[in-house]
């Protein structure tokens, strides 16, 4: 997508007066940034902060888009839970954003997006009848329906089985190409496959991790993917200094 | 609840009643036998039906108006934080006043006709409906709220498209309670002052020592309440099925 801006964030975040993180984060335009770190280090908080959601703490600092235009209305969001509304059909779920804004739902575009994620045959079904993977594909179609240049993904594939997760990673990489993507993940393998930039968040700050020289989407079993994954895992387990 | 279970429970109840009559050897003007009550019910079927219709009308209108008012209040409370802050404590406080104590006042204000009984039924079900529905409206997965904010949703559309459908099972819970409470409200209203209705008929029969007719009226009232409870229960089940995305039967 042309014109996807990057995001710069500098600042510190405190929860109940205690410092959660003090970071300088540079999310490059039109690329995939994978944000890794241990649980509770504040990965999702960064994402929520930029989205304008409640973080339960105080942030002192600033963030802005690299094109200096406001970020409001330019970020779409996909969470770990698919958040599909059980009483609506899959198609109606895809275009729920338009309804929530009081706009025309644009069903034809929603149908095309469902086709793109391979769910056109299930458009009329209720989410409860779909498998976990299909539900996440529907959630991805809903994210695409927003048609925004920046996409925030908060561990969207972590609840899926390994095979479905790999499929979803490939689908997401394909359909989100050209957008600025921030993926919060616990999974070094996911980061090694998808990232243009890997940022590891610790209590001391955010640091960029060297990514394989091959472009994403990388093969799961490619030596450079496996090596990156192993080194990241070692680092996250505290067995290796930052590369 | 299957029909077989209901009939069995009914049979056991009638059996125990008959047993009590036999054991205590109570005179029929104190505790009439089931058979005597059945005879009285058949003899007075026209007058019972006429008065049952009045009570049923009061209950249904009370249920309808109380549900609409309760649901609208709950929506208003969920929509406006100010309303929630100001009105909710008042609503809770009003529950400290026994609605039954208001019955004479309502009769004074709305007369001896149906009006005062409908208002009584409305008052008695208003709070359970408001409380249950409001609880459902505000108790929502925070993820939906986050998603809506990220989608630049406006507050009303979030309420309309997400909060209200999501809270329909809670509204169903409130309706189930209301179906049980509404007849109580109507009958108490009739006891305080009325010239028609099952509550009135019970008082009349009691005054004339026609205890069998009083029992018959009471049983008809109980049957009306049970049928209403079952029908409202079916409606509540459909609301839950809708909210969970299960096809409505």
Domain range annotation of chain B: 1-31, 34-243
**A66 plus A158 within the same structural domain:** yes
**A114 plus A153 within the same structural domain:** no
Around Cβ B176, how many Cβ atoms within 10 Å?
18
User: From the CA of A114, how many Å to the nearest CA of chain B?
Assistant: 19
**A52 plus A158 within the same structural domain:** yes
**A138 plus A224 within the same structural domain:** no
Q: Please name the residues in contact with A35: beta carbons below 8 A apart, sequence gap of 6 or more.
A: A43, A46, A47, A182, A183, A184, A185, A199, A201, A206
- What is the domain range of residue A17? 10-74+148-243
User: Testing the interface with B: which of A70, A85, A128, A156 to mutate, by most B Cβ within 10 A?
Assistant: A85
Q: Is the pLDDT of residue A243 over 60?
A: no
Are A140 and A181 in contact by the 8 Å Cβ rule? The answer is no
| Residue in A with minimal Cα distance to B144 | A83
What is the rounded average pLDDT of the residues A92-101?
95
Are B126 and A28 in contact by the 8 Å Cβ rule? The answer is no
- The answer, yes or no, to whether ipTM is higher than 0.95 is no
E-assigned strand segments in chain A: 7-15, 18-27, 32-36, 58-65, 75-78, 150-154, 180-184, 197-202, 205-209
A22-53: per-residue pLDDT in tens?
A: 899 999 999 999 999 988 889 999 999 999 99
**A69 plus A164 within the same structural domain:** yes
Q: Which of A94, A118, A147 is the last residue of a domain?
A: A147
Alpha-carbon span A57 to B185, nearest angstrom? 49
β-strand pairing of A7-15 with A18-27: antiparallel
**A126 plus A234 within the same structural domain:** no
Q: Two tokens at A159?
A: 């609840």
**What is residue B66's predicted lDDT score, i.e. its pLDDT?**
95
**What is residue A59's predicted lDDT score, i.e. its pLDDT?**
93
**What is residue A161's predicted lDDT score, i.e. its pLDDT?**
87
Who among B146, B153, B245 is closest to A87 (CB)?
Answer: B245
Are A184 and A43 in contact by the 8 Å Cβ rule? The answer is yes
**A221 plus A191 within the same structural domain:** yes
**A169 plus A240 within the same structural domain:** yes
**What is residue B81's predicted lDDT score, i.e. its pLDDT?**
86
**A131 plus A176 within the same structural domain:** no
**What is residue B193's predicted lDDT score, i.e. its pLDDT?**
84
What is the rounded average pLDDT of the residues A136-142?
93
**A125 plus A161 within the same structural domain:** no
| Residue in B with minimal Cα distance to A79 | B143
**What is residue B97's predicted lDDT score, i.e. its pLDDT?**
81
| Residue in B with minimal Cα distance to A78 | B147
User: From the CA of A30, how many Å to the nearest CA of chain B?
Assistant: 20
Nearest to A48, CA basis, from A190, A154, A137:
A154
For residue B174, give the 3-state DSSP assignment.
Answer: helix
Q: Enumerate residue ranges in chain B where pLDDT < 50.
A: none
Bridge-partner residues for A200, per DSSP? A36, A207
Q: Is the pLDDT of residue A19 over 90?
A: no
Q: How many CA atoms lie within 13 A of A98 on its CB side?
A: 17
CATH of domain B34-243: 1.10.3720.10
Cβ–Cβ below 8 Å for B154 and A52: no
User: Testing the interface with B: which of A52, A54, A78, A100 to mutate, by most B Cβ within 10 A?
Assistant: A100
**What is residue B15's predicted lDDT score, i.e. its pLDDT?**
93
pLDDT averaged over every residue in chain A: 91
**A103 plus A49 within the same structural domain:** no
Number of domains composing chain A: 2
Q: Is the pLDDT of residue A241 over 80?
A: no
**A217 plus A161 within the same structural domain:** yes
């Amino acid at each position: 997508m042309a014109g996807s801006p990057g995001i710069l964030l500098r600042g510190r975040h405190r929860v109940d007066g205690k410092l959660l993180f003090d970071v300088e984060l540079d999310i490059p335009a039109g690329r995939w940034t994978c944000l890794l770190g241990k649980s509770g280090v504040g990965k999702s908080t960064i994402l929520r902060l930029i989205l304008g959601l409640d973080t339960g703490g105080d942030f002192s600092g600033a963030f802005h888009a690299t094109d200096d235009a406001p970020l409001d209305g330019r970020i779409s969001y996909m969470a770990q839970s698919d958040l599909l509304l059980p009483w609506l059909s899959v198609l109606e779920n895809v275009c729920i954003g338009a309804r929530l804004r009081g706009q025309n739902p644009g069903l034809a575009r929603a149908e095309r997006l469902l086709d793109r994620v391979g769910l056109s045959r299930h458009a009329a079904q209720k989410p409860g009848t779909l498998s976990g993977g299909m539900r996440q594909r529907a959630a991805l179609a809903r994210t695409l329906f927003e048609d925004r240049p920046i996409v925030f993904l908060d561990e969207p594939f972590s609840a899926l089985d390994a095979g479905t997760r790999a499929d979803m990673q490939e689908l997401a990489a394909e359909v989100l190409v050209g957008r600025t993507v921030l993926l919060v993940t616990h999974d070094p393998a996911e980061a090694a496959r998808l990232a243009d930039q890997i940022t590891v968040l610790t209590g001391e700050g955010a640091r960029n991790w060297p990514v394989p020289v091959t472009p994403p989407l990388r093969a799961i079993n490619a030596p450079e993917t496996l090596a990156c994954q192993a080194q990241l895992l070692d680092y996250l387990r505290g067995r290796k200094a930052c590369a | 609840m299957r029909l077989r279970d209901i009939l069995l429970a009914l049979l056991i109840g009638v059996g125990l009643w008959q047993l009590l009559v036999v054991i205590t050897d109570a005179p029929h003007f104190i505790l009439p036998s089931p058979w005597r009550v059945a005879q009285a019910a058949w003899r007075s079927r026209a007058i019972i039906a006429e008065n049952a219709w009045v009570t049923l009308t009061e209950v249904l209108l009370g249920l309808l108006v109380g549900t609409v008012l309760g649901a609208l209040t709950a929506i208003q409370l969920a929509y406006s934080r100010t309303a929630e802050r100001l009105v909710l404590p008042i609503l809770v406080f009003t529950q400290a006043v026994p609605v039954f104590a208001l019955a004479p006042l309502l009769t004074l204000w709305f007369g001896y006709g149906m009006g005062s009984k409908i208002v009584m039924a409305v008052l008695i079900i208003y709070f359970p409906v408001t409380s249950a529905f409001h609880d459902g409206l505000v108790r929502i997965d925070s993820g939906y709220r986050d998603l809506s904010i990220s989608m630049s949703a406006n507050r009303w559309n979030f309420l309309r498209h997400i909060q209200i459908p999501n809270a329909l099972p809670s509204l169903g819970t409130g309706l189930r309670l209301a179906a049980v409470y509404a007849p109580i409200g109507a009958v108490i209203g009739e006891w305080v002052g009325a010239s028609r209705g099952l509550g009135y008929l019970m008082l009349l029969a009691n005054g004339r020592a026609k205890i069998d007719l009083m029992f018959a009226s009471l049983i008809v009232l109980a049957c009306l309440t049970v049928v209403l409870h079952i029908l409202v229960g079916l409606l509540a089940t459909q609301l839950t099925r809708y909210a969970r995305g299960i096809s409505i039967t």
